[in-house]
A and B are shown apart, each in its own frame.
Chain A
Amino acid sequence: MNVLINKTSLKIFEGARVADAIRLYYRQHKKAIPKPLPSVYDIHGNHVNHDGSLHENIHLYLK
């Protein structure tokens, strides 16, 4: 499954949740994974919970 976080395209396992994608985002950028994980928003500016489901080509933003 392909997802987009900020401007980074990520290839992640099918069934991944928002938290999985955030962790992969930081690892792909060779950065430490923050604790707690940062807030996430969809393209409409809505807050999305970390345990939310992802779908193909979803675009999320970290603030």
Chain B
Amino acid sequence: MNKFRFAFFGALLSLVILTISCGTSRKTGYSTQIPETKTLSILAVNDMHANIDQFPRLAFIADSLRNLYPNLLLVSAGDNQTGNPVNDQFPERGMPMIELMNALHFNLSAMGNHEFDPKPNALAFLLKNADFDFISANIHPKDTINFPIKPYRLVHLPNGLTIGFVSVIEINQRGIPDSHPDNLTGFSFSNPISTANQYLFLKDSCDVLIYLTHYGYENDVKLALQFPQDVVDLIIGGHSHTKIDTEQIHNHILITQAESRLKYATLIQMKILPDGSRTKTAQLLTVGNKGQVNEEIAKMVDKFNDNPRLNTPIAEATDDFSNREEIGFLMVDAMRASSQTEIALLNPGGVRLAYLPKGPVTVKDVYLMDPFGNETILYRLTGHELKSLLTNAFRFDDYGAIIPSGMKTRYHLDQKGQLFDVELFTDEGVPMDLNRLYSVAMNSYMASVYVYEHEDPGASNYTTTAVSMIEFLRKIGKIPSYRDQQRVEIIK
């Protein structure tokens, strides 16, 4: 054992980026007498985003720490889901992550906004199959049987310590978490800060009170600053993908977050002294995918990665797609159909596949066409604003025209090849009313790089364009020919 410990500490030292140490010496309100110094150890991750390839490494680190700290708690601050087709396109969407988290014996997870991505029925299935609890105090499901999301959880450790965990999730300006509204059917949400304050009473029932949040680092700081002093010990956060490798103590509360996608995990340790005073430390550990791994978990991950579903046909192309423009037409039509807008637009650089043969089309093909992970952004734009967008985009993209769906365009270049006008037409060739408002979809890259006149700042539908396309192709089954289609005309 001693030999193991020595070897482990050597390895751990190489993992440690920084030790945050706050030697607080304060007593707290919990009245139970603690006759001896007791320790609490937590390994915390956040925003794993289905990065299952890091799990063998995380498992090795958790196993090693459990040898040293038998009462170690393993917790996630949410957003376990979304970001890896192997997980996101699994027949029971999201189950690889749940099965892996079960295998690693996670104790608890906050609900992140991406926990909602699999849609309500699939979320209920995931919650049912998780061996650990999901908590969030400001998520209020109507159906508490199928969505047993608890506001808090008290964990009783064998050493006699009782740990209280409370969670809150960020709510955007529309009063919901960042997810497609359809995914949030049957849930209501309350203000994170006022809700968080409603659970401070738990301090009377536990030795350590922790907020396991999916609220973003800056919001965690605001939360900490408004808490009464010496009630909350820790905030373990997520959502903003912040790498906390320096001491972050606000209002005597230690705040941690370990960036995202299991690049890191945070080892938090507290000592509660007999007089009730306590010390807290946090170490940011590198997880990554290099170094020793848990072989059993590696086998599970290999099995998930060998997912035949990614190569299973989801639709059939009835003709060859012989260039990027034709593939772009298919992609932009999929975006328009899935977003139910009048118009959809795609940048020419957004098409990454130049040839798609007649025959079966797979999920993998979609990710080859659209590997970026962009989301669909929805706008209400006037015809004049659309014209401004197309004009600026044409120049920005080195005279590559935007690929439209639901409209046609005609670009006029002067003798020097400079753009001087763009005409907008309906699919039937009728000039569009430039004073009318149109519902428009585009990807998040376009939404951030094209500077043009528009009133509506836009809003994401929190669905990637690739996922929308997969759903579209599954729905239509047979992909029509786009051969010889012309939607863009450039006149010199």
**Which A residues are closer than 8 A to B by beta carbons?**
1, 11-21, 23-24, 27-28, 33, 42-49, 51-53, 55-56, 58
Contacts and interface: CB of A to CB of B under 8 A. Distances in A.
B459 A48 contact: no
B448 A53 contact: no
A14 B459 contact: yes
B457 A55 contact: no
18 contacts: A12-B447, A13-B458, A13-B459, A13-B460, A14-B174, A15-B178, A15-B460, A16-B444, A20-B448, A23-B449, A42-B218, A44-B221, A46-B245, A47-B242, A47-B245, A49-B259, A51-B241, A53-B216
Contacts of A47: 242-243, 245, 259
Nearest to A25: B448
Given A12-B457, A13-B458, A55-B218, A46 B241 contact: no
Nearest to B170: A55
A16 B449 contact: no
A25 to B, nearest CB: 9
Contact of A14 (B113, B172, B240, B248): B172
Interface string B245-257: 1101000000001
A13 B444 contact: yes
A17 B375 CA distance: 10
B377 interface: yes
Contacts of B240: 42, 48, 52-53, 55
B451 A28 contact: yes
B246 A15 contact: no
B444 A49 contact: no
A18 B240 CA distance: 9
A12 B458 CA distance: 7
A53 B173 contact: no
Interface in B215-258: 216-219, 221, 239-246, 248, 257
Given A24-B451, A45-B246, A55-B219, 5 more contacts: A14-B172, A18-B241, A42-B242, A47-B245, A49-B259
Residues of B in contact with A, size category: 35 or more
Q: Which 7 A-B pairs have the closest CB atoms?
A: A15-B460, A52-B241, A13-B458, A49-B241, A20-B448, A14-B459, A23-B448
Nearest to A24: B448
A51 B51 CA distance: 14
A49 B259 CA distance: 7
Interface string B171-195: 0111000100000000000000000
Contacts, number: 108
Contacts of B219: 55
Contact of A44 (B241, B248, B450): B248
A17 B448 CA distance: 10
A27 B449 contact: yes
A49 B458 CA distance: 23
B305 to A, nearest CB: 21
B462 interface: yes
Contacts of A58: 216, 218
Nearest to B49: A51
A27 B219 CA distance: 28
B260 interface: yes
A44 B451 CA distance: 30
Given A46-B248, A51-B260, A55-B216, A13 B447 contact: yes
Nearest to B240: A52
Contact of A24 (B113, B178, B259, B449): B449
Contacts of B257: 46
A11 B457 contact: yes
Nearest to B375: A15
Nearest to B442: A13
Interface in B450-473: 450-451, 457-460, 462
Contact of B241 (A21, A28, A48): A48
Contacts of B241: 18, 48-49, 51-53
A16 B443 CA distance: 11
A5 B373 CA distance: 23
B469 to A, nearest CB: 19
A16 B460 contact: yes
A48 B444 contact: no
A44 B449 CA distance: 27
Contacts of B462: 15
A13 B217 contact: no
B242 A16 contact: no
Contact of A1 (B216, B217, B243, B457): B457
